[in-house]
A and B are shown apart, each in its own frame.
Chain A
């Protein structure tokens, strides 16, 4: 493969600049383990300080601070078009760094980021406060104001998606943004710098930096950042929250892990349920926070259902090994060696209790492909059943009654996503009401929809992204009380 030139610098104040820190990231292509010839520069303390000052200046006194909502919207709509126009290029960069098929990246995830910019552009000139009359002698106005400099820390599993989900609502509300991609997949976000300029955003409004936990820690604890939005593991999320609190009590939104249940009742449309809980589960090789990784099937249909899921897993397994950059590839490797080792160690643990009914091994001897793996009736106290694996490893347990299913579903410290498969509308509404999860899908795998809030209950997160609530999370209210008795 010919060596390509990658953008490896930081994007600060509408310019690509070399980091002051001399640390760089090493990237490998999980398709074949080859090293990517890109020494991506890591943002250190000085770099983060520079980005924050640029963002502050842009927020307080730069042109952006004088823009109306509709002027902000104009930049956002242009940016959306540019993301769409560059989807193939962005998808390729993601593919080589974390293995996602370009068909999924360019066909679905990257357009979703553009769609988020379009959706939030529509909110920019509709920031509605409240007012109350002075019947009690005080005229009351509630202003909704932006927060200031906001920062986002994204994971590697759908890199550009988070650019849409985190930056769009923030800039629609009038904030400025510093975005840190994952150290495993930094290349695509860096390319966006040129699109930011072309879209007409003034300097300092949107900035991109690269780095790992240390850089993330700098953002989470910066005294002049007003909000941090983190998506990633629960473990790291708690650290982010702590750093945010102990520094300047900055506002903190967390989208963390899940061990989400899928409940299949006997009256479900079975082909749809199989497609959703098997093929749907294997989207992105199971590396999705909302993955329904605990599948609960009603006893009466379980044997046939399990066979059907096995069959889908076997079929998909047989397609593994193709280059994710080929347009027909639907399933790639896991993101890198570390992820591979992690997932395999969970599989090995699971094997100590019982053999998987399908899968359980590395696929091939090139790259980090893992066979879709199914454990039936795993150890209910074990890690495979309770901890987020973030890979193509599915647990199936059967249940007799609806009450049992709900109890099983809720027996977790997570609460991100759930799916319910039934043709009984009353059951669907009743069960979705009782599941302790921030997001529930009926008769489909859960994928967030930008019109409505997305956020986890319990240790799956704090706060919401998307929808009108996502916009509000990038604003704060100020109450103005005017004494009318003077």
Chain B
């Protein structure tokens, strides 16, 4: 299909598209063909962020939104969900254009997940349950759950529209107002949502979209008028966000950071299923997923054929490289931007020096930022390719003999986002999932977050949870009222 050409490029503040006061703009490039995208997306500077925050504060404290019941908020959230679904193709195309995701995946899975999140949280808006305790000791106590105020979200470029749902929906269901910054690499779909926000009927200042990179993000993280920031991205930037949040006004922080997750395949696993999960599943979004199981640990007794099967899947994917992400039959896209492309290649080169390259290992074609699905078998466990998140189609495979060894290998990381485990033994599944040091474990499939259970990383993979009821709680604060 032809690339979309009508873009929003301004900021979306107080239900209007307005020019930023800062003069800076973003340069966007189509990673499929290296061509610049003719959208001079305006960057929000200090004045712009200050404006956004004051609009959001007014909307929260005294605008119509502050008088709505939960059931009323739910009506708007459900309406926006319907509008997102109705505009899925347009939104998916805008993301695809910016960061190279195959449009079929964006349109049929990623964008609809945002609508799913809005519907899920709409259902919680009128179910904010506090507590009450009788006055056995002479004091009647009530615990109120109250919204925080102005909440900010900073999203990465890898599945842009999902974060709109994950960060804005729970915030609004709880009664907050939201300021959302998409990644500087992929701002276009998010910006388009401004129209849908108006159409859904949200009062001004309830949902706002700002653009920019690290500088804009830092303005949000350090703003004295923002009550909470939710950041998804790299661990190193996450730590900066936390620091800025603490040093400014100790705003609440939720971090969803990187992972170097392990998938454990035991000899009694359903092999075709395990291959699908650990090979095809790993290559979803060209490996650019925080929860990617980029360390594949295979039990020795089945390792040889298993590794061959994984290689075959990688070669199959590689044979399809090079097609336009905007084409509905494309299944595998390029890296999202040049910086990521360079990064992944440099890891590959480090890995090559270690000598464990099995397949892949090169960029593909002259057009665009495609990298071949790449496998390193038995790399050095101290090497950077084994320890650090690459965020690309680069898989490390190790073998293990015993369950204990598998667990030790799996847990030997300062990350803890996701884990996969493949076995047909129920007790092993429950036992091993209990021992994996990871916030999320998938048994016998690729791990994909579900809206009704919390998603969050352990160790340096994050702090706090999104999704489910716990994610909702993170947008509320408790007040205890003691009545004598």
In the complex, what residues of A have CB within 8 A of residue B124's CB?
Answer: 122, 126
CB–CB A73/B123 < 8 A: yes
Q: Which residue of A is nearest B116, CB measured?
A: A70
Q: Which residue of A is nearest B120, CB measured?
A: A125
Q: Which chain A residues numbered 188 to 229 have a C-beta less than 8 Å away from chain B?
A: none
**Cα–Cα, bound, A134→B431 (Å):** 9
In the complex, what residues of A have CB within 8 A of residue B126's CB?
Answer: 119, 122, 451
Interface string of B59-81 (1 = CB under 8 A from A): 00000000000010010001000
Task: Name the interface size band of chain B.
Answer: 20 to 34
CB–CB B123/A482 < 8 A: no
In the complex, what residues of B have CB within 8 A of residue A484's CB?
Answer: 427, 430-431
Q: For the complex, is B86 an interface residue (Cβ under 8 Å from A)?
A: no
**Cα–Cα, bound, A433→B140 (Å):** 10
Q: For the complex, is B484 an interface residue (Cβ under 8 Å from A)?
A: yes
Nearest-neighbour CB distance to chain A for B426, whole angstroms, equals 7
Q: Which residue of A is nearest B430, CB measured?
A: A139
CB–CB B483/A425 < 8 A: yes
Interface string of A13-49 (1 = CB under 8 A from B): 0000000000000000000000000000000000000
**Cα–Cα, bound, A448→B456 (Å):** 38
Nearest-neighbour CB distance to chain A for B287, whole angstroms, equals 29
Contact of A134 among B78, B134, B430, B451 (CB under 8 A): B430
CB–CB B122/A122 < 8 A: yes
Q: For the complex, is A429 an interface residue (Cβ under 8 Å from B)?
A: yes
Q: For the complex, is B452 an interface residue (Cβ under 8 Å from A)?
A: yes
Q: For the complex, is B145 an interface residue (Cβ under 8 Å from A)?
A: no
Q: For the complex, is B353 an interface residue (Cβ under 8 Å from A)?
A: no
Q: Which residue of B is nearest A69, CB measured?
A: B452
In the complex, what residues of B have CB within 8 A of residue A430's CB?
Answer: 135
Interface string of B125-163 (1 = CB under 8 A from A): 111010000110000100000000000000000000000
The CB with the most chain A CB atoms within 10 A, among B122, B123, B451, is that of B123
Q: Which residue of B is nearest A68, CB measured?
A: B452
Contact of B123 among A123, A128, A433, A483 (CB under 8 A): A123
CB–CB A128/B127 < 8 A: no
CB–CB B430/A468 < 8 A: no
CB–CB B123/A125 < 8 A: yes
Q: For the complex, is B181 an interface residue (Cβ under 8 Å from A)?
A: no
Contact of B484 among A73, A77, A426, A468 (CB under 8 A): A426
CB–CB B74/A122 < 8 A: yes
Q: For the complex, is A133 an interface residue (Cβ under 8 Å from B)?
A: yes
CB–CB B135/A133 < 8 A: no
In the complex, what residues of A have CB within 8 A of residue B134's CB?
Answer: 433
CB–CB B127/A123 < 8 A: yes
CB–CB B127/A429 < 8 A: no
Contact of A451 among B127, B135, B427, B484 (CB under 8 A): B127
Contact of A429 among B119, B120, B122, B135 (CB under 8 A): B135
In the complex, what residues of B have CB within 8 A of residue A426's CB?
Answer: 483-484
Q: Which chain B residues numbered 315 to 346 have a C-beta less than 8 Å away from chain A?
A: none
Q: For the complex, is A118 an interface residue (Cβ under 8 Å from B)?
A: yes
**Cα–Cα, bound, A482→B120 (Å):** 31
In the complex, what residues of A have CB within 8 A of residue B140's CB?
Answer: 429, 433
Interface string of A168-182 (1 = CB under 8 A from B): 000000000000000
In the complex, what residues of A have CB within 8 A of residue B484's CB?
Answer: 426
CB–CB A433/B120 < 8 A: no
Q: For the complex, is A163 an interface residue (Cβ under 8 Å from B)?
A: no
Q: Which residue of A is nearest B173, CB measured?
A: A122
Interface string of A442-465 (1 = CB under 8 A from B): 000000000100000000000000
Q: Which residue of A is nearest B140, CB measured?
A: A429
Q: For the complex, is A115 an interface residue (Cβ under 8 Å from B)?
A: yes
Nearest-neighbour CB distance to chain B for A447, whole angstroms, equals 15
CB–CB A429/B483 < 8 A: yes
**Cα–Cα, bound, A451→B71 (Å):** 10
**Cα–Cα, bound, A125→B118 (Å):** 13
Beyond the given pairs A70-B116, A77-B78, A484-B431, 12 more chain A to chain B contacts, judged by CB atoms under 8 angstroms and listed by A's residue number, are A70-B119, A70-B120, A119-B126, A119-B127, A123-B123, A123-B127, A429-B135, A429-B483, A433-B140, A451-B127, A468-B127, A482-B427
Q: Which 4 A-B pairs have the closest CB atoms?
A: A122-B123, A429-B140, A139-B430, A486-B427
A-B contacts, 28 of them at CB < 8 A, read: A70-B119, A73-B119, A115-B71, A118-B71, A118-B74, A119-B127, A121-B123, A122-B122, A122-B123, A122-B125, A122-B126, A122-B127, A125-B123, A126-B123, A126-B469, A133-B434, A134-B434, A139-B430, A433-B134, A433-B135, A433-B140, A468-B129, A482-B427, A482-B430, A483-B427, A484-B427, A484-B430, A486-B427
